[in-house]
Copies of this chain bind each other. A is one copy, B any other.
Amino acid sequence: MNTERPVILVTNDDGVRATGISRLVEALPENADIYVVAPDGPRSAQSSALTMTNLLRIFHHPEMEKEGSNVHWMSVNGTPVDCVKLALHAVVPRTPDICVAGINHGSNAGNSVIYSGTMGAVMEACTLGIPAIGYSLLDHSMNADFSKTLPLVREITEKVIEKGLPRKICLNINFPAGQKIEGIKVVATAESHWTDEYREYTDPSGHKFYLVTGDLINDNPDDAGTDLYWLPRGYATIVPVTPDQTRADMIPRVRDILNV
């Protein structure tokens, strides 16, 4: 049995001051050394983006740390992936046993996963060989009530620290809004798409501009094997995802199409 204290890396895309990351830290095991390295402000929908053209800094937040606490609070003026990479480069004393991200204020179910900064951080940790989980609550409000998610966050995190995850596999976990979680379903990402993605405005000079908006539509609403089926029914969903986007099974078909 490994008697060393676990090292846990924590990040998010809502920023180091978000309620969700504080609640996530509360749910983590007390016997661990916890390093929070999160963006210095909101970085939603940053996917796996890297900061290439700005200098990156790491800020320490002793004002957020209790004396003698096992939790170290830092922020980075970059994306969630920058946070994971820089944490590994310059913060954590050894490779973490797990990386947890969230708890996101809002859903990362359906095809949101590809845009999510929270899941970008999780994919990065997974790429680096670290078991990684993204947690999200289907409530965008800054005062969202995370309390019903915390026992599950702790239980799942502890199991993954103990047992690991399959190679190149990480978890996208979403919790339903509302007072009660009916159960947990391990399912696939629902095929889905966004509609009405922009609202058009006219600025005071008469020039058009656009702001992103939109609704996520479930393409197969009756498919009980997917996250978007179970979340509105009050269930938490766990989807195994991978950063490796290769579809090697399609190589013969592509050869055929291109005649190469």
Q: Which residues of A contact B (CB under 8 A)?
A: 42, 44-53, 55-58, 79, 81-82, 85-86, 89-90, 111, 113-115, 117, 120, 123, 127-128, 156, 159-160, 163-166, 169, 171, 184, 186-189, 191, 193, 197-198, 200-201, 203, 207-212, 225, 238-248, 250-251, 253-255, 257-260
Q: What's the dominant secondary structure at chain A's contact region?
A: mixed
Contact B186 A258 (CB under 8 A): yes
Contact B251 A246 (CB under 8 A): no
A171 surroundings in chain B (CB, below 8 A): 254
Query: What is the bound-complex CA distance between A166 and B20, given in angstroms?
Result: 39
Query: What is the bound-complex CA distance between A189 and B247, given in angstroms?
Result: 9
Contact B123 A246 (CB under 8 A): no
A89 surroundings in chain B (CB, below 8 A): 197-198, 210
A163 surroundings in chain B (CB, below 8 A): 257
Nearest chain B CB to A22's CB is how many angstroms away? 22
A42 surroundings in chain B (CB, below 8 A): 52-53
Can you show 15 pairs from A to B with CB atoms below 8 A apart?
A47-B50, A49-B49, A55-B203, A55-B209, A56-B198, A56-B209, A114-B123, A114-B127, A169-B254, A188-B248, A225-B248, A238-B254, A239-B246, A240-B253, A242-B247
Contact B253 A166 (CB under 8 A): yes
Nearest chain B CB to A181's CB is how many angstroms away? 12
Interface centre among A48, A191, A246 (most CB of B within 10 A): A246
Excluding A50-B115, A240-B254, 19 further A-B contacts by CB distance (< 8 Å) are A42-B52, A46-B49, A47-B81, A52-B212, A55-B201, A85-B212, A89-B197, A114-B123, A164-B257, A166-B254, A169-B250, A186-B255, A186-B260, A188-B246, A188-B248, A191-B244, A238-B260, A240-B253, A241-B246
A165 surroundings in chain B (CB, below 8 A): 254, 257
Query: What is the bound-complex CA distance between A121 and B259, given in angstroms?
Result: 25
Contact A48 B115 (CB under 8 A): yes
Q: Which residue of B90, B208, B212 contacts A198 across the interface (Cβ within 8 Å)?
A: B90
